[in-house]
């Protein structure tokens, strides 16, 4: 359910420290850090108070008090993996003095606006005459912790893989292990990487131990019995699905992605570094992100902020531009512990029986009776699910548990970086799994793969839940200095779309990186021209929103193999033969490809695997890399069952065209692909949502110049002239200036 946002329409009176730009974005000018962040909090609250309130409640498990029963499961998700007030206070105490000042000043600014708006009756009408609770540093910390976890940790796919093995065992018997090895491959060195082998500072030497032969088969012997009906809900619980679903409906961060492109001076058409970053956090109204600049003696930056969290998260300073994408490293594992058979509130640890540490949290529910949720903690982390029927609890261990503020502490320090060496040192402080990109006015560019990745026991396979018996515990954490990076690469550019960092980096528990990955499209457009301009980067962002790379292989193989059986199929094949891999709205070829590839997946795998309980899950599990490996006979399991590649390609095409003829008629010229649309209304050509929620392009002259966009607009009040004024920009792939000097606002 989407909550309507209704606002009082009284005009906002900005203090002199806040100057509004042409799109309503606040520019803060102050003579101290404390004043600067006071007015930052004040101005963001002016723009997004209701959204901020929803965001803090989501992060802290208090949404149901505002939204009612629909938010109860979200609150339970948040509480199950969240922190208490006392724990947030301990996190706050870990922050540097400067960051503490920033967080407290920001909270004071938010509260100043709440008091003023309440007195002048300018609060959003959703509050129905009541005054929202005061903003606290814990609220900002909770939002920051939630964001850090959402973008900066990964893994814990072991329950999913355990379910995969259990599901396939009934179908494939003794061959199941081979099938799981194929579906959940550990490493594919052909996967496109951010750092080329030629630039790898570690010369291809991995710090991770090679998996033992038959490690998966050996690990399976360690597993407990599995009750599918108890374990299936664990997937949603581990992924905090209820929390993400309600977040998506209320413009709260829920989605990860992001791309970045960085160009060195020798590859730049204008002779200075260039940086484009597009964090992909979904499109909502209002936008999940916000834009602002802050200028004071010790902090100057302009770019993107997140309502409720102080500071510019992505942007540029007078010395450098920076960006982030999610690193997707496997930072978390699922351990299982044995429950006390006579008391499920206890578990075995090192031969002893110990209690789970339990925190019960009440949940207030608007319009309904209150309820509660519990967070149960083991030494391996919070309990994801208890399988009482099999006497096991599955727990999530994370390298950043009670340490998320290390990343939050590092972000404000970006404003003081003078060059690439400062940025590299700072990267070591980002314990969250992030790709950190930098371009400087001194002419350097760099990428740093950040995070804390466990050094796992060689006696365990990282793809499956690990016994919590002390014999299979982590051996430590990879040192920040051992994480991949590149500074001023030989080819003159860096590009990333959440892809593999370097060729030797493993997938661990999730087969995310394979022969095919989306950043290959970026590599095409970055590597082809001799020089790249900032306009070229903008064009690249548009290109990658409308093109995909993997069809290049599959269509080529199809065209070599098939013989059209009728006029409809002949015409459909002609569309594919003349296709330039674009997924433009209204085109025929992309729709034909989508339907054919779906039939190809089914033709190879469906009879053997079933649909994994849903068509959507089947499509997700049977990834293009797996399809490629099966067609090329590069798998352990015999998926083709004696059929040739040509037979499978022909049969899948026949089935696809027969199905499309039934659904859409016999003329492929009338088959139309429908591209995704930005969900804001307005211009009919606001298409192609595979883009950054926020996009910035920065030229690193001695004084940086940048452009950015974040539709629909700065204000959440639908009556504001700045609620939807960036939609037209986005529809036309246009941007507006990132202003950070007061004199530029007066021009």
pLDDT tens column, 138-171:
999 999 999 998 888 888 789 999 999 999 999 9
Q: How far is CA 173 from the centre of its chain?
A: 36
* 721-725 average pLDDT score: 96
Task: Flag whether pLDDT at 2 surpasses 50.
Answer: no
Supply the DSSP string of 614-639, one letter for each residue.
Answer: SHHHHHHHS-HHHHHHHHTT-SSS--
Is there a domain that residue 609 lies in? yes
How far apart CA 444 and CA 419 sit, in angstroms, is: 8
Which of 294, 321, 290, 311 minimizes the C-alpha distance to 709? 290
Task: Flag whether pLDDT at 662 surpasses 70.
Answer: yes
Q: Provide the edge-to-edge strand list for the sheet that holds 434-440.
A: 18-20, 26-29, 290-296, 299-306, 309-316, 320-326, 434-440, 445-450, 485-487
* 388-403 average pLDDT score: 94
Confidence of residue 617 (pLDDT cuts 50, 70, 90): confident
The CATH number given to whatever domain includes residue 590 is 1.10.1400
Name the token pair of 72.
Answer: 């109860």
Confidence of residue 257 (pLDDT cuts 50, 70, 90): confident
- Provide the pLDDT for residue 243: 52
Which uninterrupted H or E stretch holds 454?
strand 454-455
* 60-67 average pLDDT score: 94
Is there a domain that residue 277 lies in? no
Length of the chain: 747
Is there a domain that residue 624 lies in? yes
- Provide the pLDDT for residue 169: 94
Q: Are 498 and 258 in contact (CB under 8 A)?
A: yes
Task: Flag whether pLDDT at 251 surpasses 70.
Answer: no
Residues 6+ apart with CB under 8 A from 129: none
- Provide the pLDDT for residue 269: 98
User: Could you give the angle at which helices 645-664 and 624-631 cross, rounded to 10 degrees?
Assistant: 130
What mean pLDDT is reported for the chain? 92
- Provide the pLDDT for residue 1: 31
Q: How far is CA 117 from the centre of its chain?
A: 34
Name the token pair of 105.
Answer: 């000043």
Is there a domain that residue 86 lies in? no
Whole-prediction pTM value? 0.95
* 650-654 average pLDDT score: 98
- Provide the pLDDT for residue 15: 77
Could you give the percent of the chain with pLDDT greater than 90?
86
Residue 321's DSSP bridge partners are 316, 439
Task: Flag whether pLDDT at 671 surpasses 60.
Answer: yes
- Provide the pLDDT for residue 537: 98
Q: Is 95 left (phi over 0), alpha (psi -120 to 50) or beta?
A: beta
Spell 529-548 as b/e; 16+ CB within 10 A means b. eeebbbebbbebbeebbbbb
Other C-beta atoms lying within 10 Å of the C-beta of residue 670: 9
Could you give the percent of the chain with pLDDT greater than 70?
94
Is there a domain that residue 566 lies in? yes
Q: Are 459 and 466 in contact (CB under 8 A)?
A: no
For 566-606, write each residue's pLDDT tens digit: 999 999 999 999 999 999 999 999 999 999 999 999 999 99
Q: Are 500 and 194 in contact (CB under 8 A)?
A: yes
Name the token pair of 143.
Answer: 């939002």
Cis check: omega of the bond before 286, within 30 degrees of 0: yes
For 417-455, write each residue's pLDDT tens digit: 999 999 999 999 999 999 999 999 999 999 999 999 999
Task: Flag whether pLDDT at 465 surpasses 70.
Answer: yes
Confidence of residue 635 (pLDDT cuts 50, 70, 90): very high
Name the token pair of 367.
Answer: 């319009």
Which residue range forms the structural domain that includes residue 569?
551-670
Q: Is the four-CA dihedral 261, 265, 267, 271 of positive or negative sign?
A: positive
Q: Are 148 and 431 in contact (CB under 8 A)?
A: no
How far apart CA 163 and CA 172 sit, in angstroms, is: 14
For 510-561, write each residue's pLDDT tens digit: 999 999 999 999 999 999 999 999 999 999 999 999 999 999 999 999 999 9
* 699-718 average pLDDT score: 97
Is there a domain that residue 574 lies in? yes
How far apart CA 545 and CA 581 sit, in angstroms, is: 12
* 674-701 average pLDDT score: 88
Spell 356-378 as b/e; 16+ CB within 10 A means b. beebebebebeeeeeeebebbeb
Name the token pair of 211.
Answer: 């998996």
Three-class SS state of 65: helix
Confidence of residue 256 (pLDDT cuts 50, 70, 90): low
- Provide the pLDDT for residue 248: 54
Confidence of residue 12 (pLDDT cuts 50, 70, 90): very low
- Provide the pLDDT for residue 242: 52
Confidence of residue 247 (pLDDT cuts 50, 70, 90): low
The domain tally of the chain equals 1
How far apart CA 184 and CA 187 sit, in angstroms, is: 9
Task: Flag whether pLDDT at 11 surpasses 50.
Answer: no
For 287-344, write each residue's pLDDT tens digit: 999 999 999 999 999 999 999 999 999 999 999 999 999 999 999 999 999 999 999 9
Is there a domain that residue 659 lies in? yes
How much of the chain is in helix, strand and coil states, percent to nearest 5? 40, 20, 40
Lowest mean pLDDT among 249-258, 264-273, 667-676: 249-258
Is there a domain that residue 622 lies in? yes
């Amino acid at each position: 359910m989407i909550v309507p946002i209704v606002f009082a329409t009284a005009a906002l009176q900005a203090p002199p420290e806040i100057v509004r730009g042409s799109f309503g974005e606040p520019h803060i000018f102050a003579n101290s850090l404390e004043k600067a962040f006071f007015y930052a909090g004040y101005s963001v609250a002016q723009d997004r108070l209701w959204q901020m309130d929803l965001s803090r409640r989501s992060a802290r498990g208090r949404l149901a008090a505002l939204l009612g029963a629909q938010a109860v499961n979200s609150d339970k998700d948040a509480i199950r993996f969240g922190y208490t007030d006392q724990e947030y206070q301990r996190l706050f105490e870990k922050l540097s003095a400067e960051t503490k000042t920033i967080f407290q000043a920001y909270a004071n600014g938010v509260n100043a606006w709440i008091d003023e708006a309440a007195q002048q009756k300018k609060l959003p009408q959703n509050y129905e005459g009541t005054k929202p609770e005061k903003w606290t540093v814990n609220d900002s910390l909770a939002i920051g912790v939630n964001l850090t976890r959402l973008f900066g940790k990964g893994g814990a796919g072991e329950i999913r893989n355990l379910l995969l093995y259990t599901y396939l065992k009934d179908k494939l018997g003794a061959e199941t292990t081979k099938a799981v090895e194929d579906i959940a491959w550990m490493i594919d060195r052909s996967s496109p990487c951010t750092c080329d082998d030629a630039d790898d500072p570690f010369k291809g030497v991995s710090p991770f131990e090679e998996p033992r032969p038959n490690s998966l088969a050996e690990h399976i012997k360690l597993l407990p019995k599995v009750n599918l009906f108890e374990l299936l809900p664990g997937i949603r619980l581990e992924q905090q699905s209820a929390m993400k679903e309600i977040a998506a409906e209320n413009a709260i961060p829920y989605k990860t992605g992001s791309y970045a492109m960085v160009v060195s001076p020798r590859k730049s058409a204008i002779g200075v570094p260039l940086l484009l970053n597009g964090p992909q956090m979904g499109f909502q109204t209002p936008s999940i992100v916000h834009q602002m600049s802050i200028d004071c003696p010790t902090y100057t930056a302009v770019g993107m902020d997140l309502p409720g969290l102080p500071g510019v998260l992505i942007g540029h300073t007078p010395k450098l531009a920076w960006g982030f994408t999610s690193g997707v490293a496997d930072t978390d594992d699922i351990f299982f512990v044995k429950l006390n058979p006579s008391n499920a509130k206890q578990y075995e640890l090192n031969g002893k029986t110990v209690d789970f540490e339990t925190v019960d949290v009440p949940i207030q529910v608007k319009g309904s009776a209150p309820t509660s949720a519990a967070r149960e903690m083991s030494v391996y982390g919070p309990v994801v699910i208890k399988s009482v029927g099999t006497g096991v609890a599955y727990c999530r261990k994370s390298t950043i548990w009670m340490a998320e503020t290390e990343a939050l502490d590092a972000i404000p320090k970006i404003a003081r970086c003078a060059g690439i060496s400062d940025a590299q040192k700072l990267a070591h402080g980002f314990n969250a799994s992030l790709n950190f990109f930098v371009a400087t006015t001194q002419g350097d560019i760099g990428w740093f793969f950040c995070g804390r990745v466990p050094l796992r026991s060689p006696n365990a396979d990282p793809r499956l839940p690990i016994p919590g018996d002390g014999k299979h515990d982590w051996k430590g954490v990879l040192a920040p200095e051992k994480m991949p990076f590149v500074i001023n690469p030989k080819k003159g550019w860096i590009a990333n779309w959440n892809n593999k960092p370097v060729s030797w980096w493993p997938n661990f528990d999730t087969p995310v990186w394979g022969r095919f990955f989306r950043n290959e499209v970026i590599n095409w457009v970055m590597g082809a021209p001799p020089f790249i301009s900032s306009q070229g980067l903008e064009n690249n962002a548009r290109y990658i929103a409308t093109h995909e790379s993997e069809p290049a292989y599959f269509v080529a193989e199809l065209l070599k193999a098939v013989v059209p059986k009728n006029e409809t199929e002949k015409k459909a094949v002609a569309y594919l033969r003349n296709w330039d891999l674009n997924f433009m709205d209204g085109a025929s070829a992309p729709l034909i490809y989508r339907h054919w590839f779906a039939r190809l997946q089914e033709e190879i795998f469906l009879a053997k695997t079933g649909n994994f309980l849903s068509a959507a899950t089947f499509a997700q599990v049977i990834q293009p890399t797996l399809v490629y490996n099966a067609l090329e006979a590069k798998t352990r399991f015999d998926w083709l069952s004696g059929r040739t590649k040509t037979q499978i390609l022909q049969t899948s095409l026949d089935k696809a065209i027969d199905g499309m003829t039934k659904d859409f008629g016999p003329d492929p010229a009338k088959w139309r692909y429908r591209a995704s649309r930005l969900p804001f209304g307005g211009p009919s050509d606001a298409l192609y949502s595979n883009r950054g929620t926020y996009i910035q392009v920065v030229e690193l002259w001695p004084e940086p110049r940048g452009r950015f966009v974040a539709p629909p607009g700065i204000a959440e009040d639908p009556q504001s002239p700045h609620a939807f004024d960036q939609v037209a920009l986005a529809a036309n792939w246009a941007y507006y200036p990132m202003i950070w000097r007061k004199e530029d606002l007066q021009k």
